[in-house]
Amino acid sequence: MKNLLLCWGGDWDLPSVHTDSLIVLAYAKFSGAKLAVKSIDWTWRTITASVPQLHYEASTVTEPTQILNFLRKQRFNADYELTAKQGADTMAYIALLEEKLRPALLHTFWVDADNYANLTRPWFTSHSPFPLNFFVPGRQASLALSRILLTKAESPLLNITEVEGKIYSEAKECLNLLSHRLGNFHFFFGDTPTSLDAFVFGHIAPLIKAPLPSGQLQKHLNQLDNLCQFCNTILKNYFNASAEKRTDCSPTAIHDPVDANLQKLTQLVNKESNLIEKMDDNLRSSPQHRPNSTPPS
Amino acid sequence: MSLAAEAFVSQIAAAEPWPEKATLYQPLKEDQILLSDSASSLAVQTFLRMCGLPVQVSCCANAEYMSPSGKVPFIHVGNQVVSELGPIVQFIKAKGHSLSDGLDDVQRAEMKAYMELVNNMLLTAELYIQWCDDYTATEISRPRYSSPYSWPLNHILAYQKQWEVRRKMNAIGWSGKNLEQVYEDVSQCCQALSQRLGTQPYFFNKQPTELDALVFGHLFTILTTQLTNDELAEKVKSYTNLLSFCHRIEQTYFKEHDRESQSGSSRHSKGSLP
């Protein structure tokens, strides 16, 4: 049974940096669908394919909503236990995300000059093959800008700066609403994740994890602890396999959890010894101590 | 446009009282207004009635150009002009009238989410059917939209509006859909609304909120407007609790008013619910 999912590659602790791809990846993990994931980085598909794209046996499906519907039909259903009302709530919250949060996300990553020049464009340029690296980021940026202007700008104000205030305040309100709805629960509908969790995760994970130079929305999101916790829980429980395979960040990126504990212990011991050294330092440089003994280096 | 309107002031404690002359502007009801604009306008009128605030409806051919945001309807209250349901709700809340004060945070989040669902799905579907479906655009939308103007302005304005709407559909990814998929989306949206409503009288049990006004505005207009075929209305009719919801609101808030002002004689609208 051939099944293949094409999506953008990952970075910043995430399996993918692209919102729509993250939604599909998360849903696949939640519903237990085994998909072979292939990233389109450094291929010509960066400009030809509409990502994410699922190739399942003979058919091809694009768009997160369509892919999720397709997976449900193949009996990979994470929404199995939802009531009818919860299913309706899912649709409503997804609409809220698309209307209120997506424009601000597009703006943060693609239109804000600081972020675009320092983070988004270099990333996409470095992940596209020559000569596409000249076109791919620019094309995405202009698509993002036109989407924001066409949906949010009222006709006398076709200027992006006047729309900015409005979309950011709507996005902050949307994040607050999501935080209220999530409350103290692990997931939006109880203890098991559903498609709504996949959508929310896909939208907020890049915002939490990306090292944005200018991120007012990111700051706002970091104040909403339960959403950050939600995101980290999903990453830890469902995506930790991909996090362990990465060997770049810390020198102790190891598979065995026992070794991870050992690493934590080592860090604690190091901290303690640093403290002890400092105390020693203070003692030696204190007036009571004899001044002729040399302090330890 | 002169404001020769009469309305009586409602005595409720507010920052500023609701003025005597408050007017709601929309395009011409008989000849010009289209499905999506009519739905938005009805939603605002319903909301104002639910708040108990009287307003005079004034139909002008250039309502769209008078509006501060380019969208209809808009209300002229005192010396302020506010358009679209969202800002109008906030404006009225500032004056001290609100339908959603009794909701807690989670319910308010749900209400906003459902309002976005209606805007995202129903309104977009209405726009799609009116302007992206060639047959409807040619037969109904373009002639109606440009009816107050003479040649060649009517052609120019109609095509300009159509181009604008198609650009927007393209930007949000709806241009790849065909009519069947749009009807399917409308059906799913109605199913979600129907499941949320259940057997309750209003979406948040006993009291109507702006969500009820919005849903009523859209559903009532869909049910009572004649398009090239009846498929859209049929999709809505298959949910009986939504039908009875519309009946109930029509009876409660529109019955005592002058029935003739409810477009009983309009060619475009079929009048009251079947």
- Does pLDDT of A292 surpass 80? no
Of A198-212, A232-246, B33-47, minimum mean pLDDT range: A232-246
Min Cα–Cα distance to chain A from B16, Å = 26
Residues B41 and B132 in one domain: no
B194-231 tens-digit pLDDT: 999 888 888 887 888 999 999 999 999 999 888 888 88
Which range of residues forms the domain containing residue B178?
105-259
Q: What is the pLDDT of residue B269?
A: 52
User: Taking the CB of residue A135, how many other CB atoms lie within 10 A of it?
Assistant: 13
**pLDDT class for B264, splitting at 50, 70, 90?**
very low
**Which residue of chain B comes nearest to A63, CA vs CA?**
B173
| pTM metric for this prediction | 0.79
Q: What is the pLDDT of residue A253?
A: 38
Q: What is the pLDDT of residue A203?
A: 92
Residue finishing a domain among B58, B77, B95: B95
Asked if residues A19 and A105 have their Cβ atoms less than 8 Å apart, the reply is yes
**Which residue of chain A comes nearest to B109, CA vs CA?**
A177
Residue A147 lies in a domain: yes
**pLDDT class for A244, splitting at 50, 70, 90?**
very low
Mean pLDDT of the region B255-273: 50
Q: Which of B195, B200, B214, B215 to mutate to test the interface with A (most CBs of A within 10 A)?
A: B195
B117-176 tens-digit pLDDT: 998 889 999 999 989 888 888 888 888 888 888 889 989 999 999 998 998 888 888 888
- Interface touch B113/A85, C-beta < 8 Å: no
Residues B83 and B197 in one domain: no
- Interface touch B120/A154, C-beta < 8 Å: no
- Interface touch B69/A154, C-beta < 8 Å: yes
Q: What is the pLDDT of residue A243?
A: 47
Residue A278 lies in a domain: no
Of B109, B171, B188, the CB nearest to A147: B171
Residues B57 and B135 in one domain: no
Sheet strands (E) in chain B: 22-26, 56-59, 74-77, 80-83
- Does pLDDT of A245 surpass 50? no
Q: What is the pLDDT of residue A113?
A: 87
- Does pLDDT of A78 surpass 90? no
- Does pLDDT of A236 surpass 80? yes
B168: which chain A residues are within 8 Å (Cβ-Cβ)?
A: 150-151
Q: What is the pLDDT of residue B271?
A: 54
- Does pLDDT of B43 surpass 90? yes
Residues B109 and B90 in one domain: no
- Does pLDDT of B274 surpass 80? no
Q: Of the candidates B58, B40, B45, B85, which has an alpha carbon nearest to the alpha carbon of residue B2?
A: B58
- Does pLDDT of A46 surpass 50? yes
Of A92, A146, A154, the CB nearest to B116: A92
Mean pLDDT rounded to a whole number for chain A = 80
Residues B114 and B213 in one domain: yes
CATH of the domain at B25: 3.40.30.10
A66: which chain B residues are within 8 Å (Cβ-Cβ)?
A: none
Residues B120 and B48 in one domain: no
Residue finishing a domain among B75, B95, B115: B95
B71: which chain A residues are within 8 Å (Cβ-Cβ)?
A: 154
- Does pLDDT of A102 surpass 50? yes
Which range of residues forms the domain containing residue A84?
4-239
Asked if residues B274 and B267 have their Cβ atoms less than 8 Å apart, the reply is no
Residue B271 lies in a domain: no
Residue B132 CA to residue B173 CA, distance in Å, equals: 13
Which of the two residues, B259 and B32, has the higher pLDDT score? B32
A132-191 tens-digit pLDDT: 888 888 888 888 888 888 877 665 556 677 788 888 888 998 999 899 888 888 888 888
**Contacts (Cβ under 8 Å, ≥6 apart) of A200:** A93, A97, A178, A188, A227, A230
- Does pLDDT of A257 surpass 80? no
Of B69, B116, B168, the CB nearest to A95: B116
**Which residue of chain B comes nearest to A50, CA vs CA?**
B173
A147: which chain B residues are within 8 Å (Cβ-Cβ)?
A: 171-172
Residue A24 CA to residue A55 CA, distance in Å, equals: 13
Q: Could you please report the per-residue DSSP string of chain A?
A: --EEEEE----TTSS-SSHHHHHHHHHHHHHT---EEEE-TTSTHHHHS-SSEEEETTEEEESHHHHHHHHHHTT--TTTT--HHHHHHHHHHHHHIIIIIHHHHHIIIIISHHHIIIIIHHHHHHTS-TTGGGTHHHHHHHHHHHHHHHHH--TT---HHHHHHHHHHHHHHHHHHHHHHHTT-SBTTBTS--HHHHHHHHHHHHHHHS--SS-HHHHHHHT-HHHHHHHHHHHHHHHHHHHHH--SS-TT--S-HHHHHHHHHHHHHHHHHHHHHHHHHHHHHSTTS-TTSPPP-
Q: What percent of chain A has pLDDT over 70?
A: 82
Tell whether A96 lies on the interface with B, counting CB pairs under 8 A. yes
A98: which chain B residues are within 8 Å (Cβ-Cβ)?
A: 116, 120
B68-113 tens-digit pLDDT: 878 888 888 888 888 888 888 888 888 888 888 888 888 888 898 9
As for how many domains chain B has, the answer is: 2
Mean pLDDT of the region A201-210: 90
- Does pLDDT of B8 surpass 80? no
**Which residue of chain B comes nearest to A95, CA vs CA?**
B117
Residues B144 and B251 in one domain: yes
- Interface touch B195/A92, C-beta < 8 Å: no
Q: What is the pLDDT of residue A200?
A: 92
CATH of the domain at A13: 1.20.1050.130
Residues B60 and B111 in one domain: no
Residues B54 and B175 in one domain: no
CATH of the domain at B183: 1.20.1050.10
Q: What is the pLDDT of residue A250?
A: 38
- Interface touch B191/A88, C-beta < 8 Å: yes
- Interface touch A95/B173, C-beta < 8 Å: no
Q: Which of B84, B116, B131 to mutate to test the interface with A (most CBs of A within 10 A)?
A: B116
Residues B91 and B130 in one domain: no
Tell whether B106 lies on the interface with A, counting CB pairs under 8 A. yes
CA distances from B35 to A2, A89, A150 (A): 46, 26, 21
Tell whether B173 lies on the interface with A, counting CB pairs under 8 A. yes
- Does pLDDT of A72 surpass 90? no
Min Cα–Cα distance to chain B from A281, Å = 54
